[in-house]
Amino acid sequence: MIEQLNKAFESRVRLGVMAVLVVNDWVDHARLKELLGVTDGNLASHLSALEELKYVQVRKRFVGKRPNTSYKSSVTGAKAFRTHLEAIERLIPRP
């Protein structure tokens, strides 16, 4: 049962990022920062970890003259997140 808890989601930030991405289409860096209340550097390192696992898709483009990076959950990522969530739910003792 415990094995189903995904190591990738041990960090609260990574779990939070996935939570936002599974219910939204492309979300940009600034919006994620605002929702999670973390610093740029912290967020960036967690995002690249998720990217390496192929849990998120990344899109870089320019909005006017400013570069804008957006993220979206991949099918693998969404599945992993859901499995992890179910595992957490099973940890809650039933009344």
Partner 1 sequence: MTHNDPSQELAHIRGLMERSTRFLSLSGLSGVVAGVVALFGATLARFHINDALTPDADFLTYGLERGYSPLHDLRVTLIMDAGLVLFMALLGAFWFTWRRSRRTGQHLWDSSARRLVVNMLVPLGVGGLFCLALFYYGLPGLVAPATLIFYGLALFNASKYTLDEIRWLGMSELALGIVAMFWLEAGLLFWAIGFGVLHIFYGGLMYLRYERGTEQNA
Residues lying near partner 1 in the complex (CB under 8 A): 10-12, 15-16, 19-20, 22-24, 27, 31, 34-36, 85, 88-89, 91-92
What ranges in 1-95 are assigned the alpha helix state H?
A: 12-23, 29-36, 40-52, 75-91
**12 vs 79 by CB, closer to partner 1:** 12
How crowded is residue 93: how many other Cβ atoms within 10 Å of its Cβ? 5
Name the amino acid, one letter, at 48.
S
User: What is the smallest separation between the CB atom of 62 and partner 1, expressed in angstroms?
Assistant: 19
What does the alpha-carbon distance between residue 12 and residue 9 come to, in Å, rounded to a whole number?
A: 7
**29 vs 31 by CB, closer to partner 1:** 31
User: What is the smallest separation between the CB atom of 18 and partner 1, expressed in angstroms?
Assistant: 9
What does the alpha-carbon distance between residue 57 and residue 80 come to, in Å, rounded to a whole number?
A: 14
**63 vs 92 by CB, closer to partner 1:** 92
User: What is the smallest separation between the CB atom of 53 and partner 1, expressed in angstroms?
Assistant: 18
Spatial CA neighbour of 48 closest among 35, 29, 62, 61: 29
User: What is the smallest separation between the CB atom of 7 and partner 1, expressed in angstroms?
Assistant: 9
